[in-house]
Structure 1
């Protein structure tokens, strides 16, 4: 089992095109850890903003009566992909992994696959 720092470092070093990653508590909107980012990608702001996205989607699913689980949420921009993966492992509900990718360098299918593998190894 990997800790938060190791998990985020692995995400940003093994996933092609990764620009930054964060582990976020969507109850509070606070990032428990971040790696990467920079002046053009403030991961603290991204954590808080994507918390609103997750909460809205969960609320919408409840209103629709959907009895399913969100695997991930994808936001495509002109130059980036933003991938939000809700965690489902023991003791990890209420958290998500956020990964920002350079669209020109990333393979989205592989990034989703690798993020799923990384999630399975994470211990919160």
Structure 2
């Protein structure tokens, strides 16, 4: 099992093209941990903004009566992928991993696979 800091650092080093990662509480919009980012990617702002995305999708699923769980949400920009992975498991409700990737240096399928692995090893 890995703690938040270790897991986020692993995301940056193990996932090709990763430029930033965060663990976010979507009930408050607060980032519980941040790795990477910089002047071109403010992860605290991204965490808060993507909280709205998660909340909207959860509400929409409830209104539609969908009895299913969100695995991940992908936002594709011109030069980046933004991947939101909702955590499952005991004690992780209301949390998601946020990963920003350089589109030209990443493999989306591998990034999703590796983020799932990081989630499985994360101890909150």
Q: Same fold (TM over 0.5)?
A: yes
Distance (Å, rounded) in 1 between the aligned partners of 2:48 and 2:120: 24
Verify: 1:16 aligned to 2:16, yes or no.
yes
The TM-score with structure 1 as length reference comes to 0.99
Q: CA deviation at 1:89?
A: 1.7
Structure 1, unaligned runs of 5 or more:
none
Q: Which residue of 2 aligns with 1:37?
A: 37
Q: Which residue of 1 aligns with 2:87?
A: 87
CA deviation string 1:60-87 (max 9, x = no partner): 0000000000000000000000000000
Q: CA deviation at 1:90?
A: 1.3
- Count of residues in correspondence between the two structures: 124
Structure 2, unaligned runs of 5 or more:
none
Q: Which residue of 2 aligns with 1:116?
A: 116
Verify: 1:100 aligned to 2:100, yes or no.
yes
Q: Which residue of 2 aligns with 1:5?
A: 5
Distance (Å, rounded) in 2 between the aligned partners of 1:110 and 1:86: 17
RMSD: 0.3
- Structure 1 runs (4+) deviating above 4 angstroms are none
Distance (Å, rounded) in 1 between the aligned partners of 2:121 and 2:91: 13
Distance (Å, rounded) in 2 between the aligned partners of 1:76 and 1:100: 10
